[in-house]
Amino acid sequence: MSDGVGKRRGDGVSVTGWGARRGFALPLHLLQRSASILVAVTLTFFGLLLVTFLIGRVMPIDPVLAVVGDRATAELYQRTRVELGLDLPLYHQFYLYASKVLHGDFGRSVLTSNPVLSDIVRFFPATLELATLATIFGVALGVPLGVAAAANQDRWQDQIIRVVGLLGYSIPVFWLGLVGLLVFYARLGWVAGPGRLDVGYDDIIDPVTGLILVDSLLAGEWDVFVNALRHIALPAMLLGYFSLAYISRMTRSFMLEQLRQEYIVTARVKGLDEHHVVWRHAFGNILLPLVTVIALSYANLLEGSVLTETVFAWPGIGSYITNSLLNADMNAVLGGTIVVGVVFIGLNLASDMLYRLLDPRTR
């Protein structure tokens, strides 16, 4: 989760101001720009498919053997080979692969024998719940800390907040998770252990959204809600810390740039106290890039979920991919990669479009 993601735009995410638009008329050049973004995204998605396809073909394991086993007859082997389409030229195979993916067919999981997509749909909400909670935590704490650091630049508050943020870039999430479990679960007993719920609570509520916190509230099962909260608390705060590190760092950077501007001097000349200068004037100017940073942070968390879910036995898409990987279930691994990649691309796209639509400099 390096801040390289935030600097994606090539020339930094800084902006010195934005003005509100009056009326909804979208000028032609804006539509053109949106179209070009969509084209870029489509190409990126195409590239994603190509890379996953190639990875699937790069395997030293014979995919036919993976299906029929190594004691199959030559005839069965040939038949399966034709069935899997492996006798066709590579580009034809890619075409079949791509069209299947676009129809949502990621193949079957070798492990569970279910269609990979249905497995993924079952596992995804857990990751979603965790990432959302972590982002809320990261924003609620990260933004004020970043502002405080910028307002007190180079003083002790700034140094502490910066080091806390820096640690977030230096600590491996899986290790911190283990240490967290050791301290807060084993020694202090403040939180519950791995998994989403205690075993006894497993089948009490119907999965409406797949988000246990939401579902338990909808069903009115207060006990389940509390138990789920005790389970999600530690991993959410853990991921939230990493989100906080990124968000506070970017917030600080944006705020520092704003506090250097002339209009801040004007605000001080008017006799405003520092609190109003910082929050009413400077902060209003960073809202836009901040929103895009939050979207990117969310995307980063999806990546971080892979290792966190392993440590906390959290049944989300991260552990799905990891488990499939350890069991050589390539369909599942690739399918999971594509889904996470799509969400990643989608979030980047959303943040990009939001930024371009509202940035007055691109008008």
Partner 1 sequence: MALLEIEDLWVRFPGVRGPVEAVRGVDLSVGREKLGIVGESGSGKSCTGRSILRLLPRYATVTTRRAVFDGIDLAHASERDMRRIRGSRISMIMQDPKFSLNPVMTVGRQIAEAYLVHAEEESGAARRRTLEMLAAVRIRDPERIYGAYPHELSGGMGQRVMIAMMLITDPDLLIADEPCSALDVTVQMQVLAIIDDLVQRRGMGLIFISHDLNLVASFCDRVVVMYGGQIVETCAASELHEARHPYTRGLLAAMPRIDTPVDELPVLERDPAWLEPL
Partner 2 sequence: MSRTPDRRRPGRLERSLPPSPTLSWHDYLLAENPTSPAQARLRQAYLAALAFARNRLAVVGLAIVILLILTALLAPLLAHQSPTAQDLTARLQPPDGAMWFGTDELGRDIYSRIVYGARITLGIVALIIVLVGPVGLFVGCAAGYVGGWLDTLLMRTTDVFLAFPRLILALAFVAAIGPGIKNAVIAIALTAWPPYARVARAETMALREADFVNAARLQGAGAWRIILHQIVPLCLSSVIVRLTLDMSGIIITAAGLGFLGLGAQPPSPEWGAMIASGRRFILDQWWVAFFPGMAICIAGLGFNLLGDGLRDVLDPKQR
Residue 74 binds which one of partner 2, partner 1, none, with CB within 5 to 8 A depending on kind? none
Query: Among all chains, which residue has been given the structure tokens 């389940």?
Result: 224
φ and ψ of 115, to 5 deg:
-60, 135
Please tell me whether residue 174 binds partner 1 under the rule CB under 8 A.
no
Please tell me whether residue 11 binds partner 1 under the rule CB under 8 A.
no
Residue 202, Cβ density class (10 Å: 0-12 exposed, 13-18 middle, ≥19 buried)? exposed
Query: Among all chains, which residue has been given the structure tokens 């902006």?
Result: 15
Residue 295, Cβ density class (10 Å: 0-12 exposed, 13-18 middle, ≥19 buried)? buried
Please tell me whether residue 141 binds partner 2 under the rule CB under 8 A.
no
Please tell me whether residue 27 binds partner 1 under the rule CB under 8 A.
no
Which range touches partner 1 (CB under 8 A), out of 177-185, 235-243, 280-288, 349-357?
A: 280-288
3-state secondary structure 14-76: CCCCCCCCCCCCCCHHHHHHHHHHHHHHHHHHHHHHHHHHHHHHHCCCCHHHHHHCCCCCHHH
Which range touches partner 2 (CB under 8 A), out of 17-25, 111-119, 283-291, 335-343?
A: 335-343
Please tell me whether residue 351 binds partner 1 under the rule CB under 8 A.
no
Q: Minimal distance in Å, beta carbon 269 to partner 2? A: 25
Q: How far apart are CA 134 and CA 130, in angstroms?
A: 6
Tokens of 218: 């909808």
Residues that bind partner 2 (CB under 8 A): 1-4, 7-8, 10-12, 40, 43-44, 47-48, 50-52, 55-56, 58-60, 159, 162-163, 166-167, 169-176, 178-179, 181-182, 186, 253, 256, 299-300, 302-304, 306-307, 310-311, 321-322, 325-326, 328, 330, 333-334, 336-337, 340-341, 344-345, 348
Residues that bind partner 1 (CB under 8 A): 16-20, 261-263, 265-273, 281, 284-285, 360
